[in-house]
Structures are given as structure tokens and as C-alpha cells.
């Protein structure tokens, strides 16, 4: 899950970098904050997505295992 969500975070990087590129057309006092925000998100989002994917994957697996003990799990038949 962490790897999958980390890759999803990488997909969003170009959009944040485009926001940084478009900020170069803004006035100087507004440009710096937007450029820093876009670059920071481009660097931080894949890591954040991977960490959150891991955390919610662990929580989801725990909830499934608890419920599977009560209900008996899921049975799959393959021929």
C-alpha cells in the first residue's frame, strides 16, 4: 500500500511544479510564497502519500482481521 500510494503521490508532482512555473508571472511579493509552496508540495507529497498509505493499510488490515474472526472471513473457490 505504501508503494502504491507513493507512486500516486509522484503522479501529482508535475501539477505542483506547474503551479510553481506559473507563479513566475505573479508580482514579486506573491511569487515567493507560491513557488515555495509548490516546490515543497512536489517534494513532500510522495512521502506523505506513502506514509499515509502504510498507516491506513495497517489499519484496514487490522479491521479486516478482526471482522474476519467474527464472521469467518471470505471463502474463494477456484476451479
Contact 28, 42 (CB under 8 A): no
pTM of the prediction? 0.70
Confidence of residue 58 (pLDDT cuts 50, 70, 90): very high
Nearest to 16, CA basis, from 30, 33, 31, 35: 35
- Residues 20-44 have pLDDT tens digits of 888 778 787 777 777 788 888 888 8
Q: Report percent pLDDT > 70 for the chain.
A: 100
pLDDT over 80 at 75, yes or no: yes
Q: Please give the pLDDT value at position 57.
A: 95
Residue 54 burial (C-beta neighbours within 10 Å; 0-12, 13-18, 19+):
middle
Amino acid at each position: 500500500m505504501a508503494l502504491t500510494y507513493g507512486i500516486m503521490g509522484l503522479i501529482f508532482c508535475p501539477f505542483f511544479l506547474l503551479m510553481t512555473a506559473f507563479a513566475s508571472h505573479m508580482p514579486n511579493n506573491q511569487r515567493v510564497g507560491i513557488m515555495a509552496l509548490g516546490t515543497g508540495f512536489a517534494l513532500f507529497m510522495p512521502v506523505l502519500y506513502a506514509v499515509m498509505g502504510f498507516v491506513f493499510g495497517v489499519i484496514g488490515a487490522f479491521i479486516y482481521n478482526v471482522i474476519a474472526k467474527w464472521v469467518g472471513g471470505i471463502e474463494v473457490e477456484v476451479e
